[in-house]
Chains A and B, each alone.
Chain A
C-alpha cells in the first residue's frame, strides 16, 4: 500500500544532542511537510518542501533544519534539542496540482523525548 513512513516511531535523545528524524513516502507526492504537535495542541507547521523548494515558517526556530535529498525522503534535523522540543513530529505529503483537494496524508509520527 502506498503510504507515509516515519522512523523511528519513538526517539529518545539527550539535551543538546543532535537528532535526525526520517520520513519516506511511496505516494510520489511533490510536497512534504513537517509538523510539531505537543500534547493536546494543534499540529504546528515547521516547514515544507514543494519539490526541491524549501519553505520555512517564520516562527520555526533555527534549531530545526530539514533536508529532502529526493522525492521519497525528507529529514528533520534538530541541532541542539531542548526540553521544550519534546513532542510528536508528524510528516505529511500532498500532491498539489494532481488532486481535487490538497489533502495531506500523514505518517504515524515520531514521538521525541528529550532527557
Chain B
C-alpha cells in the first residue's frame, strides 16, 4: 500500500524560512515530487528528488532520505504569494503518482 503523511497546516511570517516535512511508506519508489497548489487551481511542479540529498532551486529546496522514507521542502524568504497548499507525491512505480493530502501554508505579514 501507499501512505504519505504531511502536516495539515503551517503558519509562518513573511521573510522567514519554513520547512514542510513528508514521510512515506510505498511499495516502490521511483522519485518524490513537491507540488504547489493555490486554492481552486491546478498543482504546479516545484521539485523532484530521486537520490538522497538536497536539490536547490532558487528560494525552494527539497531534501530526500530514501532509507528513512523522508523528505522536506524548504522555503526561504517567504512571500505572501507562497500561501498555498504544498503536496508531497511519490512515484511508487512507473506512472503511479500518489499524493499526500497537502500542507496548507499561510504566510502572515
Contacts and interface: CB of A to CB of B under 8 A. Distances in A.
Q: Do A and B bind each other?
A: yes
Interface of A: 31, 33, 40-45, 48, 50, 55, 88, 90, 94, 96, 100-109, 111
Given A41-B101, A43-B87, 5 more contacts: A43-B43, A48-B95, A103-B45, A106-B43, A107-B42
Contact of B99 (A42, A103, A105): A42
Interface in B46-67: 48, 50
Interface residues of B, number: 24
Nearest to A35: B99
23 contacts: A31-B95, A33-B97, A42-B87, A42-B101, A43-B87, A44-B99, A45-B98, A55-B95, A88-B40, A96-B94, A101-B33, A101-B48, A101-B50, A102-B31, A102-B95, A102-B97, A103-B45, A104-B45, A104-B97, A105-B45, A106-B42, A107-B42, A111-B40
Interface of B: 4, 30-31, 33, 40-45, 48, 50, 87, 91, 94-102, 104
A6 to B, nearest CB: 8
Given A55-B95, A94-B95, A42 B43 contact: no
Contacts of A108: 41-42
Contacts of B45: 103-105
